[in-house]
Structure 1
Amino acid sequence: MRQATDARQDPAGPSGDGVPVFQLMDPELVRDQYAFFARLREKSRVWWAELPDGSRWLVPTRYEDIRLAHLDPVLRQKPDPEDDPVSDEEGGIWRIYNEHPVVTDPPKHTRLRKLLSGAFTGRQTERMRPRVEATAAELLDRLAEEGADGSPVDLMEHYAWQLPLVLICELLGVPEDRRQVFHDWSRNARDFTGGATHEGREEIAYRIIDVIKELIAERRAHPTEDLLGQMVQARDAEEGRLSEIELTSTAFIVLLAGFETSVGLIGNGVHALLRNPEQRALVENDPSLMPGAVEEFLRFDPSLFLTNVRISGAPTTVAGVTIRKGQPVLLSLGAANRDPEQFPDADRLDVTRHAGGHLTFGYGIHHCLGAPLARMEGAIAIGRLLERFPRLRLAGDGDVPFIPNPISRTPLTLSVLLI
């Protein structure tokens, strides 16, 4: 980690402030985000991350600075007030991607979030519990068949990716005969070995948009009570409440973001327990610990490590550094969750820890709407897995590869033995 351990004070930085610099694509960061950021945190509360094109993003390393940055109204998804929506033909796939509540600012964000909030309340989430239980049971039956001869099975491929995808498709109302494209997306998202390309992901994204538009048209002809049906009704019942591109974009992000966090929660949670048998024994002996254990899994190893980017809409101060308008700020949820000032002995898994306050679902107005559903999915998925396979263990030498990029913290594969 030469760039971080031998970091230089760089007076030529964007603000001329001498803040140290590290390379965002440093191989050591890709290999072990937590160790990398621990070393950064020891040296400075804030760094410049240099991108391959030479541009730099400000990166705070401590929990409190990252939390406060989420609350700063000057730090926005976009630096200037948003223009009125244009058609997707004018902006292509990325215009569609930029019209949903995750990447918009008030007042648009407020309007879009209000539209979706009713679908993700605790009451609505509880209504899905029987389906989550049934889906987990079905997938565990298939998993048992895969490993019945004692051979290793990939828990990510056959369980962690499958359960959340089935459930989010059902919530939105995507029929089984239209789900293949979403399976293709999930496989592409995991392939960083050369088989997947930016163009490949974009091609799949266009196919997803086509499916969504077909489903929207069908719901206009035949209204339904699923989430997409409700969104279409809101779009058509009150002109101007939801534009067509906002409708398409929001459905797109609900599908994609609605399952990837849960995938990481299941994979990382199981991996953490298999690496820490004493903690596994605690939750197996006392299932009432599982809700708190899920919070600890979310804190200990979130599926997205470097994810929240904000743009300064005006000069402001972040972690003691004054930045100009238009300066990107990169907020690391994983780094915040391992700050020992906030979570003592932060690098140790402790299912009895009070892990409330972790930033895995974001913070402030962009806190993840789907958090209650993800928590329930994680608790059921991991709990039922341990009940069904009490002898579950890592296969081979126990080495688990992660998707090789600095953004994600999701296992690429999780090879296990069931018996």
Structure 2
Amino acid sequence: MQAPAETTATNGPQEDGIPVFQLMNPELVSDQYGFFARLREQAPVWWAELPDGSRWLVPVRYEDIRKAHLDPVLRQKPDPEDDPVSDEEGGIWRVYNEHPVVSDPPKHTRLRKLLSSAFTARQTERLRPRIKEATDELLDAIAAKGANGEPVDLMEDYAWPLPLTLICELLGVPEDRRQVFRDWSQNSRDFTGGTTHDGREEIAYRIIDVIKELVEERRAEPTEDLLGQMVHARDTEEGRLTEMELLSTAFIVLLAGFETSVGLISNGVYALLRNPEQRALVEKDPSLMPGAIEEFLRFDPSLFLTNVRIAGAPTVLAGVPVRKGQPVLLSLGAANRDPERFPDPDALDIGRKTSGHLAFGYGIHRCIGAPLAGMEGEIAIGRLLERFPRLRLAEEGEQPYIPNPIARTLLTLSVRVD
């Protein structure tokens, strides 16, 4: 379904004077940064046409994307959230629509406050020893697997299992109940560029079943993990959580809590392997790693084209009128590569001033787990380089990404560690 070449030029198809591109254009799927760089040179706002024919507005410049995150008119949902739908209605994706990421104030404020105590800097720092321990366990397995010079897939053996293990432990999911989350991660890797994932809904139902089991166990025997805290808030503090909000919030913490970290770890390692002079700086001075993590997030965030907003009233975006009910799609990756905000944006520079990058979003919806993800990345990448000083790509050439215009996740990262 590749669009004609003229659809990526301002003299191509337009609606209301705004140019149009196809969301599933193969050029976008294969080269997100280059594609958006070309859009940025031609117009500040585009229509993205979805496979179903609908069109969403897409700003492509940093400042417009940043301001859109702050515009109170651009909401997660078009109307105030006096939602009359019962917990039993709406199917599995109703569960996905009651967490703070897709909520507006005051509901968003209430739900985010509940989670904030688990993601403070102090609480995050308490996890550092366990992150190191889990990291070293995986590195031991990688060392054994690659001892004879055989290639190792860091996605399969490191980038996916480490964040999954840690987020499961944070919520309190026991080892014997984690297979369904591994199935979800495998389904993410099997994405082939369509608008749906085969089997994803079935896996989502299974995840909710596991969460329901764990909730009931905590009601019978309270725990101090994050899920136990959420159950306590649901059952003892009137008005804090509905049952659907409890399930939905646990669902998104589990999934978002590991998938974004997967991208940070793998994209960061890949960036260093392709930029040996930057790798040498970090290896010579490990104190540079926190700054390097911020540059990895700017340079190649795990979410490229995301953060949908709906106009709750007429507004203006980059000088373009936006009607009520119009969806707006925000690109974190495009913002982070805007040369007006970050000079020479396609170069990896761990000494760069990265303040203001949008890898974790912006404003009230900025990812609450950003400090934890940053610490995971710092430990995972730092200890990997320390353990394997001869770490290198198994073969020349680019590693494949999952063919998805929304996310930036490597399909494989084949390396040699001997």
Q: Same fold (TM over 0.5)?
A: yes
Task: Specify the TM-score bucket, using the shorter chain as the normaliser.
Answer: over 0.9
Is 1:38 aligned with 2:37? yes
Deviation sequence 1:343-373 (CA, Å, 0-9, x none): 0111100011111110000000000000000
Letter in 2 for 1:8: N
Within-5 A mapping of 1:56-95: 56-84=55-83, 86-95=85-94
Dislocated runs of 4+, deviation >2 Å: 3-11, 83-89, 192-199
Residue pair 1:171, 1:227 contacting (<8 A) in 2 also: yes
Alignment partner, residue 168 of structure 2:
169
Deviation sequence 1:308-367 (CA, Å, 0-9, x none): 110000000011100100001110000000000100111100011111110000000000
Letter in 1 for 2:11: R
Residue pair 1:7, 1:22 contacting (<8 A) in 2 also: no
- Distance in structure 2 (CA, Å) of the matches to 1:4 and 1:146: 48
Alignment partner, residue 226 of structure 1:
225
Within-5 A mapping of 1:8-407: 8=11, 10=13, 13=15, 16=16, 18-84=17-83, 86-193=85-192, 198-407=197-406
Secondary structure of the corresponding residue to residue 252 of structure 1 = helix
Secondary structure of the corresponding residue to residue 33 of structure 2 = helix
Secondary structure of the corresponding residue to residue 400 of structure 1 = coil
Measured after TM superposition, the shift of residue 83 of structure 1 is 3.2
- Distance in structure 2 (CA, Å) of the matches to 1:3 and 1:102: 36
Secondary structure of the corresponding residue to residue 91 of structure 2 = helix
- The number of residue pairs the alignment matches comes to 415
- Name which of structure 1's ranges 181-190 and 78-87 shifts more when overlaid on structure 2: 78-87
Letter in 1 for 2:199: G
Measured after TM superposition, the shift of residue 89 of structure 1 is 2.8
Deviation sequence 1:95-152 (CA, Å, 0-9, x none): 1100000001111101000000010010000000000000000000011111111111
Give unmatched runs, 5+ long, in structure 1: none
Distance 1:55 1:196, change over 3 A: closer
Residue pair 1:155, 1:415 contacting (<8 A) in 2 also: yes
Measured after TM superposition, the shift of residue 59 of structure 1 is 0.6
Deviation sequence 1:206-264 (CA, Å, 0-9, x none): 00000000000000000000000000001111122100000000000000000111000
- Name which of structure 1's ranges 105-114 and 85-94 shifts more when overlaid on structure 2: 85-94
Deviation sequence 1:157-203 (CA, Å, 0-9, x none): 00000110000000000000000000000000110249996350000
Measured after TM superposition, the shift of residue 5 of structure 1 is 3.6
Measured after TM superposition, the shift of residue 4 of structure 1 is 4.5
Give unmatched runs, 5+ long, in structure 2: none
- Distance in structure 2 (CA, Å) of the matches to 1:408 and 1:194: 11
Using structure 2 for the length normalisation, give the TM-score. Answer: 0.97
Match of residue 9, structure 2, among 6, 28, 39: 6
For the aligned residues, what is the CA RMSD? 1.5
- Distance in structure 2 (CA, Å) of the matches to 1:4 and 1:145: 51
Measured after TM superposition, the shift of residue 88 of structure 1 is 4.1
Is 1:418 aligned with 2:417? yes
Measured after TM superposition, the shift of residue 397 of structure 1 is 2.2
Measured after TM superposition, the shift of residue 10 of structure 1 is 4.9
**Identity over the aligned pairs, expressed in percent?**
79
Residue pair 2:391, 2:416 contacting (<8 A) in 1 also: yes
Using structure 1 for the length normalisation, give the TM-score. Answer: 0.97
